[in-house]
Structures are given as structure tokens and as C-alpha cells.
Structure 1
Amino acid sequence: MQSDITGRLLICCPDRPGIVAGVSQFLYTCGANILDASQHSTDPKEGVFFMRMEFHLENAGITSEQLEKQFQEKVAGPLHMDWHINYTFHRKRMAVMVSRYDHCLMELLWRWRSGELPVDIPLVISNHEELRELTEDFGIPFHYLPVTAATKAEKEQEAIRLIQEAKADFTVLARYMQILSPAFVGVFPGKIINIHHSFLPAFAGANPYKNAYTRGVKLIGATAHYVTNDLDEGPIIDQDVARVSHRHDVSDLVALGRDIERQVLTRAVVAHVEDRIIIHGNKTIVF
């Protein structure tokens, strides 16, 4: 039995009075100390309530399974909650997929090595060989899966097998320049994070910096989002921008954009690891 339990409870349910009181009272009766609590209600017409609550049970007399069973019976069921609890004793495992660009991968690996990103990274998958040495210098297994139109389905199935065998909890596309098929996405719903080098919904698809330059924009940005079957249209987790002017050429935009991409992707990954995101339709609630 886990003697100490620290859990993060995420809730989505119809809005009504007494939700916070019901959850808090339940945790109190279990002997839990609430470490953090955040909540959000949509407009009255939609009437949906969201909450994230982090709690700690010291010398817990019940298992996490017993805690969840009692919560479902006493609170979640009567209040029609969609909910789950993640526990800090389970360290999340993050798979990474990347192509040739190294800046996002390096940012994740640096933060992982420094302890700023509390995950395990069991593997990196790439459709190119260029980043093998860099990855293996960090002691992380590198898998080369070259993709062509003829081999795409086969290589995706191999990638799925590798991710599942590694027991990865989620996957990050750190500038992986391949469109994942519905068959791949369907295996990991809400578990794939992508960084897009544009402030979506502007300039979706390929070559966004060139398109931004042609359009003469004054802001460029980057967007981290969950992957769905609709290209670059999944629920947005984080975004940021930088001001540019007519003095910047395409190479300037690319250089500025890479800095934004690193920061935005890192913030999105940290939010996911810390269980601060609830996906609601094609939106996210990020606490």
C-alpha cells in the first residue's frame, strides 16, 4: 500500500451548487489535505463546471483504488462527473517524435536532464538519422523509422508498437514533419502534443513563416496543441507571439520563431505533466 498519496483530481460536470463542498468534504473525511484548488464555470447557458484539485494523504489508510471507488459512489456518481485522478507516485513517460530540426528536442532534453521536466523519456523516434548522436548522448534510445508514401502505414504501426512497448503515457511531436494518420491518432486520443510554427488558426500547414512574410504580418507565433484528425486544428494548449517588421526577412522569422516554439512547447508539456489541462470538445481548460 502506498503510505503517502498525492493526487491531482480533474473534474468536468454539469454546473450546480455544492460541487466544491462535496469534493472538499469527501477529501476531508479521508484525512486529505488540499494543496491547491482551481475551478471554472462556463456561461449559464452551457452550464459546465471544471475543477482541478491537488491533495495529499499522509500515512493513507486506503489504497488509491479504494479512494477512487468511494469517490465515484459518494460524489462523482450523484453529481454526474467526468473525472480522473493522477498520482505523483506515477512518473509520466514521454515519447518524442522528431524529424531534422533539433531546437525543440534539445529544449526538452535539457530541461529533462536538469530536472525541470519531471518525466522519463524512454525513446525518441525519427524519420531521419541526423539527431541520433544528439539523442544517444543523453542516454536515450533512438529509433530510425524512414517514412515514404509506400511505407507510411507500416512505419506508423511500428511507431505505435514502440510507444506502447515503452509504456509511454503521452507523445510529443517536437517538429515531426509528418502528418499522422487517423489510425495512429486514434490509438492515443488526447495523448499527442504537437508544436506548430504559427499562431493558429493563421497559416496552418506547411511553410507558415514564408506565408507570414509574404502576407507582411507584424506578429509571428507558435502554437502547442493536441493532435486530432483535423490538421493543426486540435485543442490549443499554449501560444505565444513576437513582434516583427518589414526589416525581418524569412530567415529572421524562422530564427525568432524557433525561440517561441521552444518556450511554447515546454509550457504545454509541463502543463500536461502537471495535470493542469482538461480537454472539452475542441477547447482546453488550462489551470
Structure 2
Amino acid sequence: MMKIAKLLLHCPDKPGILAEVTDFITVNKGNIIYLDQYVDHVKNIFFMRIEWELMDFLVPQEKIEDYFATLYAQKYEMNFRLYFSDTKPRMAIFPFHLFPITKETKEEQEKKEMELLAKHKITFIVLARYMQVISERMINAYPNRIINIHHSFLPAFVGAKPYHAAFERGVKIIGATSHYVTTELDAGPIIEQDVVHITHKDTVQDLVNKGKDLEKIVLSRAVQKHIERKVLAYKNKTVILN
């Protein structure tokens, strides 16, 4: 299979950025196979995602990041990430906790978790009904690499039985949201969302079933976009470059 480089970047928008990045690749005999870019004209930020084949690329793979940082990132104040198709992301799933966790056991558990993540070279984490607050230390160790899924009733329908509350309110749609985890609870950059329609004929159990199915779909889409390197997070928003 052809080895591919994937570059994602954002920086203050200036003339010539697109031309310089593509020129860097083509001059070094890289074959560009994908390019997408977007400009936030309100904040004046340029976003870009580009892929190219490495078979005939003149810059050694291990030196591309240094070359790009020296030649362009400093010049344009770029924040960039470089990935290669032969490096597969390793995911850890943190499942729902069945028993209450005290502060002491939580700290000990997190220490073991971080040691295990480092040992297995985990690159991102998915929370599956984890129902625990992730510490600031863990979040800082995995910035924009911890993905959470929850029902979109938050904060309107908080608590242990949001679908029951939604049923009592007579909602017409229910939803799910997948987002990156930040230190602010359930307020990180949103990756994926979707909704399903509800009628008066639906029971509470119908809402629960539809909601859980939707959560699985939304989480799957978010993880897929993340591992395909299509998500650029900036401040508390995301740009999805497809």
C-alpha cells in the first residue's frame, strides 16, 4: 500500500500560504492526492488539510516535520500536526464504572491508567458511559484526544434519567453529541451530532432505545473522523475537513 503523509494546520490567514505549502510538496516530488482548506473570516484564521504520496518524496520521512517547522511554521505562526499512513492510532476505551469511586481510589486508578496508556503507546481515548470526571492532568496529557459521547439533552435534561425527563416534557427530537473532553464538563469542541424524531406514540423505553442507538452512531462517526485525521480543533470549536 502506498505510504501517505497527512498534514493538518491552522494559522493567521495571509496571502501565499496555500501556494507555499503545495510548492514544498511538489518541488520535493510529492504527489498531492487530497487538499481541503477553509478560512474563518471572522477570526481571520486559515485551516488546511493536505495529503501526499511519499514514494518519490525527496525529504526523508523522519525529517519532514523539522523541515516544515523551520521553513513555514515559524514564518506563518502555524500550529500543525503531521501524520503518516503507516502509523496506526492506538485507542483505549474507558467503560462505565460499576461501583462508586472514592477520591483515594480514583487517584490510584488514574495513576495505573496513565501507566498502562504509556506502556501501550495509546494515542487517544474514548469514554463509553465512563460517568467520572477526568482529571486535569489526564486531559492535559491527551489534548483533543479524549472523545466523549452523551445525549444532547444536556444541560436541559440533566440527571440520571434524561430520557424520562424528555418524555415528560414531550420532546419531538432527541439527539447525541460527541466531543473532545476539556476541563469544563461536557463543553469541549464538538466533533459530531445527530438527532432522531420522536412522536407521541413513543414510550420512555422507545426514547431510551433510539437514544442509545443514536449515541453509538454519533460516537462511531466522531472516532472515524478523528482517526482519519479530519478534525482541526481551534479554541472551543472544530473544523471538519472532509
TM-score scaled to structure 1, two decimals?
A: 0.78
Q: What pairs up with 1:1-287 in 2 under 5 angstroms?
A: 5-43=3-41, 45-99=42-96, 127-128=97-98, 147-150=100-103, 151-198=105-152, 202-203=156-157, 206-287=160-241
1:55 is displaced (CA, Å) by: 1.0
**Distance of aligned partners of 1:41 and 1:170 in 2 relative to their CA distance in 1, 3 Å threshold:** same
Aligned residue identity for 1:90:
T
1:30 is displaced (CA, Å) by: 1.1
Q: Unaligned stretches of 5+ in structure 2?
A: none
Post-superposition CA distance 1:90-123 (Å, at most 9, x none): 0110001112xxxxxxxxxxxxxxxxxxxxxxxx
Is the contact between residue 153 and residue 162 of structure 2 (CA under 8 Å) also seen in structure 1?
no
TM-score scaled to structure 2, two decimals?
A: 0.92
Aligned-residue Cα RMSD (Å) equals 1.9
Aligned residue identity for 1:30:
N
The alignment partner of 2:29 has SS state of: coil
Is the contact between residue 30 and residue 56 of structure 2 (CA under 8 Å) also seen in structure 1?
no
1:217 is displaced (CA, Å) by: 1.2
1:258 is displaced (CA, Å) by: 1.2
Aligned residue identity for 2:52:
F
Between the aligned partners of 1:279 and 1:72, the Cα distance in structure 2 is: 19
The alignment partner of 2:213 has SS state of: helix
Aligned residue identity for 2:77:
H
Aligned residue identity for 1:249:
T
Of all paired residues, the percent bearing the same amino acid is 42
Aligned residue identity for 1:89:
D
Between the aligned partners of 2:212 and 2:75, the Cα distance in structure 1 is: 48
The alignment partner of 2:8 has SS state of: strand
Aligned residue identity for 1:34:
I
1:242 is displaced (CA, Å) by: 0.3
Is the contact between residue 38 and residue 51 of structure 1 (CA under 8 Å) also seen in structure 2?
yes
271-280 or 240-249, larger mean C-alpha shift: 240-249
Between the aligned partners of 1:250 and 1:53, the Cα distance in structure 2 is: 46
Q: Unaligned stretches of 5+ in structure 1?
A: 100-126, 129-145
**Distance of aligned partners of 1:57 and 1:184 in 2 relative to their CA distance in 1, 3 Å threshold:** closer
The alignment partner of 2:7 has SS state of: strand
Is the contact between residue 199 and residue 241 of structure 1 (CA under 8 Å) also seen in structure 2?
no
1:203 is displaced (CA, Å) by: 3.4
The alignment partner of 1:248 has SS state of: coil
**Distance of aligned partners of 1:201 and 1:50 in 2 relative to their CA distance in 1, 3 Å threshold:** farther
Post-superposition CA distance 1:17-74 (Å, at most 9, x none): 211111111100111111111111112x410010111111214443223222222222
